[in-house]
Amino acid sequence: MADSSIVTLGPGRSLLVDSSVYDSRMAETSKEQFFMGLHVDESEDVLPKVETRVVLVGEAGNIAELEKALQDINTPYIKTDNVRDFGDGENCEFETVFVLIDFQAPEYSFLYKNDNRILGPSAVMHCASKGEPLPFSSRPLYSMTMLNLSLCFTGFRKKDEVVTLVNLVHHMGGTIRKDFDSTKVTHLIARSTHGEKYRLAVCMGTPILTPEWIHKAWEHRDDINFHAGNEEFRTEFKVPPFQDCVLSFLGFSEEERTNMEERTQKHGGRFQAVGDERCTHLVVEENSIKELPFTPSKRLYVVKQEWFWGSIQMDARAGETMYSYEKPESPAMKKAVSLLSLTTPNSGRKRRRLRETLAQLTKETEISPFPPRKRPSAEHSLSMGSLLDISNTPDTFKSSGENARLPKSSTPALPKQSARWQVSKELYQTESNYVDILATVLQLFKYPLDKEGQVGGPILAQEEIKTIFGSIPDIYEVHTRIKVDLEELVMNWSEERSVGDIILKYSRELVKAYPPFVNFFEMSKETIVRCERQKPRFHAFLKINQAKPECGRQTLGELLIRPVQRLPSVALLLNDIKKHTSDDNPDKVTLEKAIESLKEVMTHINEDKRKTEGQKQIFDVVYEVDGCPANLLSSHRSLVHRVETIALGDKPCDRGEHVTLFLFNDCLEIARKRHKVITTFRSPLGQTRPPAQLKHIALMPLSQIRRVLDIQDTEECQNAFALVVHPPTEQENLLFSFQLTAEDTLKSAWLKTLCRQVANTICRADAEDLIQSTDPDSVQVSTKDMDSTLSRASRAIKKTSKKVTRAFSFTKTPKRVLQRAFLANGTPDDKSPGPDADHMGRMSSSSTLAAVHSPSMLNLSSAFERKYHTFSRSTTHLF
């Protein structure tokens, strides 16, 4: 059916014409003059002058407002109860317009069969209110409720229902189109969510409504100020996205599945168990399901969960094609796994293979601080490669082909990079990751919410968007520029380059950008929780975007906490850089100024926002750990978790030591259980608290953890894990291995918590990628015989050995001089324990005493000297 249009015939004349059923008398008597009139001068009368006469039928004559409306437009009218006296259509002196209240009455049927013009009271009063003449319509027109609306129908099976709806639309001034034309159709009336018309309407953002919308609009036909196109009115008649859909859910937790089933019913669908023949859709959690438990039928849509949440967000059923579930490919970590699966009886090869394995593990997760570059020459590629990966061995630089090997003169050995460069590179890496996270927040969340013309209307009000994101765009802008400057500094590094100048350069902008966001961060979190609970479309919007790889399975609230944590992390890194900066370097003073400028920024942040229960727990740790560094106390730091373990290697303390790990949000405090030592020194003031039960070993920044190893359980190794760490002063990776001892500590939960804090510290989203599962043989870790008599005796001998060594150390030799003497006597290249080390572990206390001479003689046994040297490099110099 064609639409109605307004045709103007001279000044003040407008005809509401339906081109498909044009008045037959008009077409026969004046068709030629009508179209000619469109081209002649407006002063000429094209149509014969026929006076318009209005006949008020029955109850219409008793409406005072209707009579006044006709008087306002200077239209004569008469009243009658017998339409047969006027409705024969033979009178040519008058153009008669009949006004009826009831379009179901016999009078209406008589007039309609005789092709009379029929109007409703609302149509007349609407024209009077606009100062317009009565409309000329070939169809009966009761009101202007759907004026300028063009409707299309889809999904209807009963012809009678469609006919009734079409007549109502015509009675309210609307038009009908058979085909969906996005440029002309304003609304789609749908009985189902299938079909091409429905899909086109979703793509074009055309409102899709139920037939009840038309019936409800008809009930408002007597209200001349009402229009069916009002957005507030039509909202409740939207076709729900899951209408005619039966959903089942696979791979979700009980809580998630219950939530999705409730939302399915709320949005017009039904749900059944997986495998039910009535199901039309199977929604799959693609991250946990590797294979379907059955072969789906051809009519069953197997889709990812993004389809489910996308449909709710759009408030319309999304297309299944782009969300089809496909079997995921296996992880691409085969090279590391193959390295971990190698076994060899030779101890030297084991140590070499262990170093290669640790280098491979960190290499795969290392984020290069430099942007991708083209390789102009092999020589340049080699030099850059050695600069990027300090853990490369000489074998790494060997070419696979003889022709590709460069002359010795063209490949000079590069000097080892300083610890200052290492920490500066780490500052750039974390800054780059932080900028990427801010970009993710803006591109995945803020910009789509700000976008105009969203399908289904705005998801959030502008006030709510501003409350949630605050000054994130300003923070992103300033850190983008800091990242560019740091990149230039690292790419063109020299020890004289100043890191502190970069921070000082942007200190004022940081003061302006950060406090507005951090001070209202709690309000931002509350707004997210409230909107997610009250607005299903926002909940679906979050579900879709938080499941994307860029978010690393983190919520929007977890991503928004990064600006709160960033400045303290930068200050920590600057302190580390200052520690490795010589006193004669001008950057030493500049770094101190930069750290002070960051403290100034943080003083603008309300202290109450940063006080948590975890702050109080830090003091308990300081009291419990003897020798705990004072810089552990920090306003930004909080205790996350504590675990009890046993050391399985010789780093960071002896095998078999009971070690407590305190996990903070940015560092890891490692402490061992204190030995029972009888002391003759007592405080004259007396004890005010219980004596410390633990001894400090190391305070390690989480940024030094390159990989967390989940060691598989075997008969000889139970509940073990390891940390691959890379301190800035070391050229090789170190392995710290432990066994969890507390029965209430779940290893998987502990490792995930640890990786999440590491990822937050280095500003990475993929926290779970830091975990690598491996077998104990590949990293030479075992928990066997940890509590045996031999093991306890061996630990006792080591303790006695240390006591005797300390007893013979009461000389006038200064500690630093003694340490330098130890290091000078050690051979730097001898890093592996020799046979003397095993002998050392087996000797009795008396033999130890006999073997060890006075430290002032500087001729300690090679075994002890070697052990001390290794321990010094692995712990004392690290942190």
pTM here is 0.53
pLDDT for 473 equals: 94
Nearest partner of 510 among 489, 486, 469, 482, judged by Cα: 482
Query: What is the distance between the alpha carbons of residues 724 and 510, in angstroms, rounded to a whole number?
Result: 34
Query: What is the distance between the alpha carbons of residues 162 and 175, in angstroms, rounded to a whole number?
Result: 13
Which residues are registered as beta bridge partners of 208? 188
844 DSSP 8-state letter: -
Token pair listed for 858: 């500087």
- Rounded to the nearest integer, the mean pLDDT of the chain is 75
pLDDT for 133 equals: 83
> Which range, of 112-121, 423-432, 465-474, averages the lowest pLDDT?
112-121
| pLDDT surpassing 90 at residue 708 | yes
**Can you say whether the dihedral through the CA atoms of 631, 635, 640, 642 is positive or negative?**
positive
Band of pLDDT at residue 374, cut at 50, 70 and 90 = very low
Band of pLDDT at residue 4, cut at 50, 70 and 90 = very low
Max mean pLDDT among 256-270, 388-402, 612-626 falls in 256-270
Of residues 363 and 518, more confidence is placed in 518
| 420 and 591 Cβ atoms separated by less than 8 Å | no
Query: What is the distance between the alpha carbons of residues 389 and 417, in angstroms, rounded to a whole number?
Result: 10
Which residues are registered as beta bridge partners of 737? 722
pLDDT for 146 equals: 93
| pLDDT surpassing 90 at residue 214 | yes
Max mean pLDDT among 308-312, 398-402, 440-444, 847-851 falls in 440-444
> Which range, of 318-332, 567-581, 602-616, averages the lowest pLDDT?
602-616
> In this structure, how many other beta carbons lie within 10 angstroms of the beta carbon of residue 148?
14
| Residue 44, burial from CB neighbour count under 10 angstroms (0-12, 13-18, 19+) | exposed
Instruction: Output the CA angle 113-116-117, nearest 5 degrees.
Output: 135
C-alpha dihedral (68, 73, 76, 77), degrees to nearest 10 = -50
Which helix H or strand E contains 720, and what residues bound it?
Answer: strand 720-725
C-alpha dihedral (592, 593, 596, 597), degrees to nearest 10 = -140
Query: What is the distance between the alpha carbons of residues 263 and 282, in angstroms, rounded to a whole number?
Result: 15
3-state helix, strand, coil in the chain (%, to 5): 45, 15, 40
Q: Within a 13 Å sphere around the CA of 548, how many CA atoms are in the beta-carbon half?
A: 15
Which residues are registered as beta bridge partners of 94? 51
| Integer angstrom CA distances of residue 103 from 52, 229, 873 | 22, 23, 97
> Which range, of 322-326, 401-405, 563-567, averages the lowest pLDDT?
401-405
Quote the strand ranges of 100-180, DSSP E. Answer: 117-119, 150-154, 175-176
Nearest partner of 698 among 732, 681, 723, 731, judged by Cα: 723
| pLDDT surpassing 50 at residue 5 | no
Of residues 251 and 83, more confidence is placed in 251
Please tell me whether residue 368 adopts helix, strand or coil conformation: coil
Spatial CB neighbours of 360, under 8 Å, sequence gap ≥ 6: 335, 336, 339
User: How far from the centroid of its chain's Cα atoms is residue 39's Cα?
Assistant: 63
| 797 and 843 Cβ atoms separated by less than 8 Å | yes
| Integer angstrom CA distances of residue 846 from 208, 795, 801, 843 | 91, 15, 9, 8
pLDDT tens-digit profile of 770-798?
898 998 888 888 877 665 555 565 656 66
Query: What is the distance between the alpha carbons of residues 551 and 460, in angstroms, rounded to a whole number?
Result: 21
Please tell me whether residue 768 adopts helix, strand or coil conformation: helix
Provide the residue type at 795 as one letter.
R
pLDDT for 605 equals: 67
| pLDDT surpassing 80 at residue 33 | no
| pLDDT surpassing 60 at residue 683 | no
pLDDT for 48 equals: 57
